[in-house]
Amino acid sequence: MFKALVSLAISGIALPIFVHSSSAEASDAEKGGFFVDADVGKSTSIGSLDGSSSSYSGTLGYRWDVRPGIALGIEAGYKNIGHFEETITIPEPSGAVGPYSFRESSRGFFLGANGRFDLIRDWYLTSRLGAFRYHDEHSVIYDGTFSSWKDFDTGWYVGIGFGYDVNQNFSVGLNYNRSDPHNSDVGTRELSLSAEYRF
């Protein structure tokens, strides 16, 4: 599933996919130009910590119309993939040690490429791929003692989406993203709803 997601996002950005632009149902309105996008959804950890959390992001970008029905562009924004908690007991030869209560949150800025591909009427597909400069906050509680630390590093993100044009400037969509902060305990799958406005 993950390899297929990455392959689709890369091919969507690097090589314009075939769109039957001669279809009478295909939208012929240009989709290039500046856009802003807001996403709200749920993220599920696939790292060493379990659980799920609410997530949100905001994006500013620009697309170029490369052919009828296909627009490719760049994007930048801010993403909060949420916070995750887990309580564990570590087995030792002398007996179990714990419980340890772990908490981690991850957020940061991203920069990448995106593509939009019109289907029929007002429906379309999107793909995105880029770098995620994240800020991780960790904390551990054990035996009444609290400790915390922070990490700053760069990972990546990839995603695909399916949307509908409400009018020439405004769209809504459903998106699936994968974020993987490098050297972090939290990698996530994110399912979100989005609203996009084009200038």
For range 59-75, the mean pLDDT: 96
Fold of 2-13+32-82+107-138+153-198: Porin (2.40.160)
pLDDT of residue 89: 66
- Please tell me the least confidently modeled range out of 9-18, 47-56, 153-162, 171-180: 9-18
The more confident residue out of 31 and 127 is 127
Q: Which two tokens stand for residue 53?
A: 């959390």
Q: Which sign does the torsion angle of CA 52, 58, 63, 69 carry?
A: positive
E-state strands within the chain? 33-45, 52-67, 70-90, 97-118, 123-142, 145-165, 170-180, 188-198
Q: Would you say 73 and 37 are in contact if contact means Cβ atoms under 8 Å apart?
A: no
| Pairing assessment for the beta strands 145-165 and 52-67 based on DSSP bridges | unpaired
Q: Is 0.85 surpassed by the pTM of this model?
A: no
Q: Would you say 44 and 188 are in contact if contact means Cβ atoms under 8 Å apart?
A: yes
pLDDT of residue 75: 98
Chain segment 157-196, per-residue pLDDT in tens: 999 999 999 999 999 999 999 987 655 556 788 999 999 9
Span between the terminal Cα atoms of the chain, in Å: 34
Per-residue pLDDT for 4 more than 60?
Answer: no
What is the domain partition of the chain in residue ranges?
2-13+32-82+107-138+153-198
For range 65-89, the mean pLDDT: 88
Calpha distance 82→104 (Å, rounded): 9
CA distances for 88 relative to 2, 29, 142, angstroms: 28, 55, 10
Other beta carbons within 10 angstroms of residue 12's beta carbon come to: 23
Average pLDDT, the chain: 80
- Please tell me the least confidently modeled range out of 49-58, 107-116, 127-136: 49-58
* Closest to 136 in 3D by CA, of 177, 191, 97, 79: 79
Q: Would you say 75 and 60 are in contact if contact means Cβ atoms under 8 Å apart?
A: yes
Chain segment 83-128, per-residue pLDDT in tens: 777 776 666 665 556 677 777 778 899 999 999 999 998 999 999 9
Q: Would you say 71 and 61 are in contact if contact means Cβ atoms under 8 Å apart?
A: no
CA distances for 199 relative to 74, 99, 116, 126, 169, angstroms: 15, 53, 15, 18, 7
Q: Would you say 17 and 70 are in contact if contact means Cβ atoms under 8 Å apart?
A: yes
